[in-house]
């Protein structure tokens, strides 16, 4: 992809960037020339990821601890990133969690926690960064949604709601900021091999593979490649879209 896409000297913030899909996104953007901020609630893991990215890519990487569900923490993270790098060109709202259970058993706090991190977190970080992007008349925001936000999944009323909300958020924000040269898009992964899916029972994995026309789980790199395209100059005329990275599952 490096021959096609260049992010040379761009500044990118990736929330939930310490591991899994976020980690792959951060390293891919760095490989393409961006300096990256690894924004994560787990500071130690974020520090490790930043050091590894520096060693592997030669780009600058900064770890910042953040609770995206807290607007003060999100704003402080964005302010710190701008102070360190001068500006932010790219925001990837990737931070997310699951608390899966049937609605009859779901506790109110399990609903609130998932919505606050997955959906409100994207709002907090986007609100904190959008003013500076509007001043520079350029910016790329990518929200990591899910196939669950498109088709719904049993046992995931909280998660599916948060990811569906991200799609509406993406489209509304794209309309708000498009005149300032800012694009806002979403990526909706299907089953991806991460620490979260590694814990799935074998029967659930089999069902997931059966529902996926390509017959396998995807890799974090598959999602990272889609994000890298959407934040590049090649995608300058793409905004408000949901790019499905799910092996055809949503069909």
Catalytic residues: 159
The secondary structure of 84-125 as a DSSP string is: HHS---EEEE---------TTT--HHHHHHHHIIIIIHHHHH
Question: Is there a contact between 217 and 194 (Cβ–Cβ < 8 Å)?
Answer: no
Instruction: Say how many CA atoms lie within 13 Å of 164 toward its Cβ.
Output: 12
Rounded CA-CA distance 17/37 in Å is 8
How far is 143 from 155, CA to CA, in rounded Å? 23
Q: Are strands 90-93 and 11-15 parallel, antiparallel or unpaired?
A: parallel
Neighbours of 207 (CB within 10 A): 13
Instruction: Decide: 16 and 95 in contact? Cβ < 8 Å.
Output: yes
Per the listing, tokens 């799910």 go with 246
C-alpha distance across the termini of the chain, in Å? 27
6 to 43, 91, 154: CA distances (angstroms): 29, 16, 40
In whole angstroms, give the CA distance from residue 125 to residue 129: 6
CB 18 within 8 Å of CB 221: no
């Amino acid at each position: 992809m490096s021959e096609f896409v260049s992010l040379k000297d761009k500044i990118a913030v990736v929330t939930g960037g310490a591991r899994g899909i976020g980690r792959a996104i951060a390293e891919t953007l760095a490989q393409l020339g961006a300096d990256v901020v690894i924004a994560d609630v787990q500071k130690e893991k974020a520090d490790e990821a930043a050091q590894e990215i520096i060693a592997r890519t030669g780009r600058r990487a900064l770890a910042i601890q953040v609770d995206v569900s807290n607007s003060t923490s999100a704003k402080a993270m964005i302010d710190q990133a701008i102070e360190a790098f001068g500006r932010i060109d790219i925001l990837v709202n990737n931070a997310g969690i699951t608390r899966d259970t049937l609605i009859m058993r779901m506790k109110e706090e399990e609903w609130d926690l998932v919505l606050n991190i997955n959906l409100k977190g994207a709002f907090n970080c986007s609100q904190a960064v959008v003013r500076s992007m509007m001043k520079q008349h350029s910016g790329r925001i990518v929200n990591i949604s899910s196939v669950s936000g498109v088709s719904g999944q049993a046992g995931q009323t909280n998660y599916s709601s948060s990811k569906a909300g991200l799609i509406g958020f993406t489209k509304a924000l794209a309309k708000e900021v498009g005149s300032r040269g800012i694009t806002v898009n979403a990526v909706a992964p299907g089953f991806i091999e991460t620490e979260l899916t590694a814990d799935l029972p074998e029967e659930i994995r089999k069902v997931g593979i059966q529902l996926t026309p390509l017959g396998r789980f995807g890799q974090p790199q598959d999602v990272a490649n889609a994000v890298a395209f959407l934040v590049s100059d090649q995608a300058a005329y793409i905004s408000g879209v949901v790019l499905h990275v799910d092996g055809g599952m949503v069909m």
